[in-house]
Amino acid sequence: AYAFYNCKELTQLVIPGSVTGISENALRGCDSLEDLTIPFVGSNRQANKTYDGALGYIFGRAYSSDTEYYIQYPILDGTSVSGYGYVVPKTLTRVTVTDAVLIPFGAFSGLTQVQSVVLNPGIETIEAYAFRGCTGLTDVCYCGSETQWGAVSISGSGNDPLLAAEM
């Protein structure tokens, strides 16, 4: 459950595509993490419209003493769930997703510090609010062709930062 717990000096981490699940708190305390490569967003490839579909899930629940982190509040039905948040290091600026077919509802929501996202060519769906409030997002790299990108179903609700970022 706490695979990389308190690896405070870790700045880059690659979790291979062979991983099928990532537990809550797996990356808790990775205070210096800048660049994260993951096979999917959330707890597993099927995470969708639940608390475990947010990127912050793998960093763990927020507590009142977590002032050095950004707090990501999961979104359910278009509304942030106050009082239930996840800690995400303020240093995290780049996320690469290597083996997903879905970017879940609210996956990166509110993560203003994330500047760059790399998406694998197998992405088929980007759900509503996946990039809501990602005001720092300036660069999105899609590893497939223009034709493949054109076939990706992107919900228009709350994904303006994704659509505005440079591809």
What confidence tens digit (pLDDT) does each residue in 36-67 have?
999 999 999 988 767 789 999 999 988 766 66
pTM exceeds 0.85: yes
Give the 3-state secondary structure of 108-161.
CCCCCCCCEEEECCCCCEECCCCCCCCCCCCEEEECCCHHHHHHCEECCCCCHH
What confidence tens digit (pLDDT) does each residue in 105-145 have?
899 999 999 999 999 999 999 999 999 999 999 999 999 99
* Cross-strand partners of 166: 139
